Amino acid sequence: MPSIATGRHFLQIPGPTNCPLPVLEAIARPTIDHRGPEFKRLAGTVLEGIRPIFGTCEPVIIFPASGTGAWEAALVNTLSPGDHVLMFETGWFASLWRKLAERLGLKAEILPGDWRGGVDAAAIEARLRADRGHAIKAVCVVHNETSTGVASDIPALRKAIDAAGHPALMMVDTISSLASIEYDHDGWGVDVTVAGSQKGLMLPPGLSFNAVSPKARAASVTARLPRAFWDWEDMIAANASNVFPYTPATNMLQGLKVAIELLQAEGMDNVFARHERAARATRAAVAHWGFETQCADPARHSASLTAVRLPEGHSADTLRETILERANMSLGNGLGPLADRVFRIGHLGDFSDASVTGTIAGVELGLKQAGIPHRGGGVEAALGILAGNA
């Protein structure tokens, strides 16, 4: 084998994703004065343009941080020490959000899940009905669980909270679903939406987001968890004049402007359809090979990634290493209890049907090289979906 990889690298992990060249070019432009008129025009365009992507008319706050920062900002702006938050164990990232909440001094209760399905709205409703004293202050869930390839039903969760007659805030992590899977912050009655730049928004890591409802902003008035860098009101007040309260990630905002323009030009309905088509094609290949997806509920398959379970006795990490060596393609690894048991195919952000078929071909090449039993012809199965023949 050659000592260097040839051809373009296929970055097919569930994020960070491939960045379009116009976005990278915008980021590479000279840095501008973040107190000058050019930046004010940029900030105004970005702050207005990002709202429809979340499905909101309310403020979207942009931090120079990763998605983890957006998790923390959501909690510290709305809660006080010792407050009770309710979560649901959809997978690795739901568990990480719980750990972060505990480190902030919150009482984080997580309802158990099997890592193969989405949020159980009925279980959430039952737990909230039992909370007659309304000790639970927030329900925090992951919309699209990146570790499992499961997308939860957020409108059903809103109905469950309302049916229980409970005043808890509803917070939703959309880090791997925003701009890939349909989402409606206002229409679905979400109080805080958490997001990051490095997935459906087609940017490198470095920006995080909180979309906030009037109810969430009202809660921030009495919240007593310490906050300085993460304070929403400082951001909202500065953003009213198209500036930021501290030095923003200027070049990333230049890239975000272009990313928003690309999404607008394609049309969000077309963006969602493209992701759904890629997901169906990928699942068709997986089924043809004779494998299961980690998501066991057909109604809850993610449109932005597919987590594939290998048969017992076969190493997913060895397969990923083989694919990287032979096809110059990176796939996502299994996380937590799924380590070495699943591999994850990302199909989100900037990609085409040709990207999908190339990815399927690379996986099938790796399966053959690794000697993993499977039925050949996964590419043809995927093409049946992409060509509209199935």
Indicate if 229 and 245 belong to the same structural domain. yes
Q: What is the pLDDT of residue 377?
A: 98
Given 248, 264, 280, which residue is the final one in a domain?
A: 264
- For range 347-362, the mean pLDDT: 97
Number of domains observed in the structure of the chain: 2
Are 194 and 49 in the same domain?
yes
* Edge-to-edge strand ranges of the sheet holding 107-111: 60-63, 208-212, 192-196, 169-173, 136-142, 84-88, 107-111
Q: How does strand 208-212 pair with strand 192-196?
A: antiparallel
What is the per-residue pLDDT for 4?
A: 76
Q: What is the CATH number of the domain that holds 338?
A: 3.90.1150.10
Range of the domain at 229: 21-264
- pLDDT band at 108; cut points 50, 70, 90: very high
Instruction: Name the DSSP class of 228.
Output: S
- What mean pLDDT value characterizes the chain? 97
Instruction: Check residue 390 and give its pLDDT.
Output: 52
Q: What is the CATH number of the domain that holds 134?
A: 3.40.640.10
Residue of 195, 79, 68 whose CA lies nearest to 143: 195
User: What is the distance, to the nearest Å, from the Cα of residue 157 to the centroid of all Cα atoms in its chain?
Assistant: 18
> Is 169 part of a structural domain of the chain?
yes
Q: Is the pTM of this model over 0.85?
A: yes
What crossing angle do the helices spanning 353-370 and 316-327 adopt, rounded to 10°?
120
The yes-or-no verdict on residue 212 having pLDDT over 90 is yes
* Domain stops at, among 264, 286, 308: 264
- Average pLDDT of the segment spanning 323-342: 97
In a domain, 1, yes or no: no
pLDDT computed for residue 6 by the predictor: 85
User: Does a structural domain hold residue 367?
Assistant: yes
Residue 3's pLDDT is 63
Q: Which of 204, 238, 264 is the last residue of a domain?
A: 264
pLDDT recorded at residue 5: 81
User: Are 281 and 225 part of one and the same domain?
Assistant: no
The residues, ordered by sequence, that sit 6+ positions from 166 with a Cβ below 8 Å of its Cβ are 128, 129, 131, 134, 136
pLDDT of residue 351 exceeding 70, the answer is yes
Residue 371: pLDDT band (50, 70, 90) is: very high
Task: Judge contact between 196 and 175, C-beta under 8 A.
Answer: yes
232/334 same-domain check: no
Within a domain: 362? yes
Same domain, 150 and 244: yes
Q: Does residue 310 surpass a pLDDT of 70?
A: yes
Q: Which residues of 129-163 are buried (b: 16+ CB within 10 A; e: fewer)?
A: eeeeeeebbbbbbbbbbbbbbbbbbbebbbebbee
d(CA 56, CA 260): 15
The arithmetic mean of pLDDT across residues 83-108, rounded, is 98
Does the pLDDT of residue 162 top 60, yes or no? yes
